[in-house]
Amino acid sequence: MKNRPLAQGFTVVIRHAALVATLGLAVGCLPAAQAATKTTAKASADKTLDAVGGPLPANAVARVNNVLITQDQLDQAVRALNVADTPALRTSVKNQLIARELFRQAAEKQHYDSRPQVTAAVEQAKTAAMTAAYLRDEVKPAPVTDADVKAKYDAIVATLGESEYKPSAIAVKDADTAQTVLTQLKKGTDFAQLAKQYSQAPGAAQGGALNWISFKTPIQAGNTQNWPQPLAEALVKLPQGGVSSTPVQIGDAYWILRVDEKRPTQIPQYDTIKDALRKQLEQVALEKATAQVVVDLMKNAKIQQQ
């Protein structure tokens, strides 16, 4: 069973990336700078200066031996970090680019470019870039319209019942362990503690806590928000604070449920959720279009498998 948020995706998570500005950690911390440095290396033969200590060209921010680091490379590296652009940040990024170029030159001088692991990595990078370019040209997902988004919203709302539940769950592999858990619960042992100790269900590390869920009752097959039907039926019969009196067997697992909270179903307004739903539908369309490209390629391919 998958631990999904209420209405299959109403929650959007935004991640924040922090800047690492230490020169010793320069390698690998600027993805855009890596590509920029390769360009610099390729053009270095054309940028050799008779007087290394002479004035910098107008488009350069630094010279490392005979190789220029350009303003455009610095701008690309700063944009890649996606943080506030400040003079201090630019100084730090420039120092990282200088360090990266020093590393590159030292490695090239010692012929690291011909080492097997390096040539293999170059080939892998080439393959990845080539494949990505091909997919951008060949995968044509169907556009997602406003009507598609509204229909998705209406379909989700139609699956929701009058009440929604905040459950916790413990799932174990055998009936004996399930009975041990139930016995401990009856003695007053904390549900979250037992979940962390015994459970193999989603949310075990969080004491068995699952996301809010709602079902239209009576429970109907195929309308259980991806929960197994017996679990959904067991959950809606429990009062708030109630715990399963007997385990519910699903396949080889035995489930014990608790209703932590119960409340009238809270349905987000369409305008507050439409962007998240659109992204969800666009992802589905992308996956469908990609699968179709695979199918088309397989029609003319000879594939052998063990």
pLDDT one-digit tens code per residue, 145-200: 999 999 999 999 998 999 999 999 999 999 999 999 999 999 999 999 999 999 99
Bond from prior residue into 87 cis (ω within 30 degrees of 0): no
Architecture of the domain defined by 150-264: Roll (3.10)
pLDDT at 1 over 60: no
CA distances (Å), origin 48, targets 34, 42, 66, 68, 92:
21, 12, 5, 9, 25
CA distances (Å), origin 182, targets 76, 132, 144, 196, 241:
59, 52, 48, 15, 15
* Strand-strand pairing, 163-172 and 67-70: unpaired
Sole residue written with tokens 């990845």? 128
Cα Dmax for the chain: 86
Tokens, residue 73:
């490379």
CA–CA gap between residue 116 and residue 106 (Å, rounded): 18
Least confident piece of the model among 101-110, 169-178, 222-231, 247-256: 222-231
Percent of the chain with pLDDT over 70: 83
pLDDT at site 222: 85
Q: Where are the domains of the chain?
A: 23-109, 150-264
pLDDT one-digit tens code per residue, 253-297: 999 999 999 999 999 999 999 999 999 999 999 999 999 999 999
pLDDT at site 57: 94
- Residues 6 or more apart from 79 whose CB is under 8 A from it? 32
pLDDT at site 21: 33
- Residues 6 or more apart from 38 whose CB is under 8 A from it? none
pLDDT one-digit tens code per residue, 22-40: 333 333 434 443 444 444 4
pLDDT at 8 over 70: no
